């Protein structure tokens, strides 16, 4: 809590005193005190809205603006700036200090953050973040008095893997995000609650969008998952959503070429092909939502009661990295392995990994459906050829081209994380739900929406309806029945209750 209770800005000054428990007389202190750092004990009296308090706050706000450039029209922080809010709430009607020329001194602190020196109000929140949260200590205060500035030591730039958080912490526009700088005004954007799909931590985030374009991700407070933070990998890892290389529109193989297919007729065509194929397998990506995995498992088991349900490749990079405050960047680079595992275990009795499927020396199937959603290369040419040889009907739904996609019978474009409705279960068995923030590109259909059509369900895909069904059918998800709050629900108790049933099923 040290990041909050340091009394740097003095904007929370209040009158304070004590009440005598015997006589009831209140004795007030002669000076105002900062409310953020004054404990409220038994008998303490506070006055938060007197003439004295209002005058002191107006004076403090005026002092903060003396050296602050009035460059709101070009500042990225305009519209969500604390100093602007304080001015409208406490400021003087007009500026009484001399207006000096605006110089806009600017220097980079690292690869992701730029410092606008003249805007800084020396709250030191960024410095304390690198000391108390990341423990990396790149930032410090140089100079004294009115010459104080935030800086980095030569050769030691701000480059820890959580550096973008200092931009969120900055109450003014002193720290700018290079990735977002001058790209959008905040009042044009709409913010949607989302879940980061970068790793199995599953940070709660705000997805800020305008006209179906994601401009930035910001951490959303969740004490059970990420507190107030997120890593740079997740913060800047959304650009693949708007990549020109994304697949758009379904295609069907005809001889040696791919031709466009019609979404209005394709579900019925796929259904007929799958039902005529005989033995069927489905490979479920750990990037899928819980709802999509459930609908696809339901459909494939309807097509083939003995359909093999397989967990797709789980991307792992390096090792978990834990910071001083406990925040952890997970090596497992997918958001929903746990949720997909539990869905597969419910239908199949156990979780079969893709390595088991490939190790089957007599692998012969009528059809394999692959769910993707991977941002990077996830399958090599040899593996793709092995799978293509094992099944004459190969349906691949993914974001980008791959060796497997080139060998597919049907190429289906997949939706990215910001285009989906559904839920993820993180490494700690906490389920979080989210709604789509932007619409998919033209020609792209979400995996769950396609499975909904194949199952013959009426109307549009409703993730809440599906999650309620899952909560009724699968013990592990029972806590999600009736609604999921913004911070998610803990499924650990359901895992413990379901474990004997799961073990019995796996034994059988």
Residue 364, token pair as written in the block: 């012969």
Alpha-helical runs (H) found in 304-445: 337-348, 354-359, 381-390, 403-406
Question: How big is the CA angle at 188 (ends 246 and 164), to the nearest 5 degrees?
Answer: 65
Task: Identify whether 500 is part of a domain.
Answer: yes
Instruction: Tell me the average pLDDT across 230-250.
Output: 94
In a domain, residue 206? The reply is: no
In a domain, 31, yes or no: no
Radius of gyration of the chain (CA): 28
User: CA angle, corner 49, sides to 43 and 55, nearest 5?
Assistant: 125
- pTM as predicted: 0.89
Instruction: Judge residue 457's burial from the number of C-beta atoms within 10 Å of its C-beta, 0-12 exposed, 13-18 middle, 19 or more buried.
Output: middle
The reply to whether 328 falls in a domain is yes
Q: Count the neighbouring beta carbons within 10 Å of the beta carbon of residue 289.
A: 31
Percentage of the chain exceeding pLDDT 90? 70
H or E segment at 84? helix 82-90
Q: Which of 98-107, 165-174, 361-370, 382-391 has the lowest mean pLDDT?
A: 98-107
Model pLDDT for residues 40-88, shown as the tens digit of each residue: 889 999 999 999 999 898 888 888 888 788 888 889 999 999 888 888 8
40 is a domain residue: no
Average pLDDT of the residues in 327-331: 94
Residue 492: give its domain's CATH number.
Answer: 3.40.50.740
pLDDT for 255 beyond 70: yes
Q: What is the per-residue pLDDT for 498?
A: 55
In a domain, 245, yes or no: no
* pLDDT at residue 502 is higher than 60: no
pLDDT tens per residue, range 390-429? 999 999 999 999 999 999 999 999 999 999 999 999 999 9
Note whether residue 145 is domain-resident. no
Domain count, the chain: 1
Predicted confidence band at 5 (pLDDT cuts at 50, 70, 90)? low
Domain coverage including residue 444:
251-507
For position 300, what pLDDT does the model report?
96
Check residue 319 and give its pLDDT.
93
What distance in Å separates the CA atoms of residue 441 and residue 30, rounded to the nearest whole number?
64
- With cut-offs at 50, 70 and 90, classify the pLDDT of residue 165: very high
Domain for residue 150, yes or no?
Answer: no
The 10 Å CB-count burial string (b at 16+, else e) for 348-378 is: beebbebeebeeeeebebbbbbbbbbbbeeb
């Amino acid at each position: 809590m040290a990041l909050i209770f340091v009394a740097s800005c003095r904007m929370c000054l209040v009158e304070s005193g004590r009440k005598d428990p015997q006589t009831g007389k209140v004795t007030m202190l002669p000076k105002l005190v900062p409310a953020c750092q004054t404990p409220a004990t038994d008998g303490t009296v506070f006055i938060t809205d007197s003439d004295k308090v209002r005058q002191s706050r107006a004076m403090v706000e005026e002092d903060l603006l003396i050296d602050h450039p009035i460059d709101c029209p070009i500042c990225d922080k305009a519209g969500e700036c604390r100093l602007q809010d304080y001015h409208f709430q406490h400021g003087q009607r007009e500026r009484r200090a001399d207006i000096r020329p605006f110089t806009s001194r600017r220097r980079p602190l690292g690869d992701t953050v730029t410092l606008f020196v003249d805007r800084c109000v020396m709250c030191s929140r960024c410095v304390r973040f690198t000391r108390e949260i990341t423990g990396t200590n790149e930032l410090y205060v140089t100079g004294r008095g009115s010459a104080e500035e935030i800086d980095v030591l030569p050769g030691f730039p701000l480059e820890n893997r959580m550096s973008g958080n200092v931009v969120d912490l900055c109450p003014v526009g002193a720290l700018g995000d290079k990735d977002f700088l001058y790209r959008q005004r905040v009042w044009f954007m709409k913010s949607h609650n989302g879940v980061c799909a970068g790793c199995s931590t599953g940070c709660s985030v705000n997805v800020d969008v305008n006209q179906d374009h994601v401009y930035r991700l910001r951490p959303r407070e969740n004490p059970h998952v990420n507190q107030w933070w997120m890593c740079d990998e997740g913060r800047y890892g959304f650009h693949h959503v708007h990549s020109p290389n994304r697949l758009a529109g379904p295609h069907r193989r005809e001889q040696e070429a791919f031709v466009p297919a019609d979404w209005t007729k394709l579900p019925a065509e796929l259904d007929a092909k799958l039902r005529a194929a005989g033995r069927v397998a489905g490979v479920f990506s750990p990037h899928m939502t819980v709802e999509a995995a459930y609908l696809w498992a339901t459909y494939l088991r309807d097509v083939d009661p003995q359909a093999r349900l397989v967990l797709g490749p789980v991307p792992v990079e390096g090792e978990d990295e834990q910071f001083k405050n406990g925040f952890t960047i997970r090596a497992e680079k997918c958001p929903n392995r746990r949720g997909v595992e539990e869905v597969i275990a419910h239908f199949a009795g156990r979780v079969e990994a893709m390595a088991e499927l490939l190790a089957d020396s007599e692998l012969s199937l009528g059809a394999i459906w692959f769910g993707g959603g991977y941002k990077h290369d996830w399958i090599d040419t040899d593996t793709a050829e092995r799978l293509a040889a094992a099944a004459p009907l190969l349906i691949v739904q993914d974001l980008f081209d791959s060796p497997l996609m080139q060998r597919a019978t049907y190429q289906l474009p997949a939706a990215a994380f910001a285009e989906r409705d559904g839920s993820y279960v993180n490494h700690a068995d906490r389920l979080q739900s989210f709604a789509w923030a932007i619409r998919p590109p033209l020609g792209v259909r979400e995996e769950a929406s396609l499975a909904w059509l194949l199952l013959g369900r009426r109307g549009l895909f409703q993730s809440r309806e599906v999650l309620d069904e899952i909560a009724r059918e699968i013990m592990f998800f029972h806590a999600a029945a009736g609604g999921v709050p913004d911070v998610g629900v803990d499924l650990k108790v359901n895992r413990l209750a379901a474990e004997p049933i799961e073990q019995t099923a796996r034994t059988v």
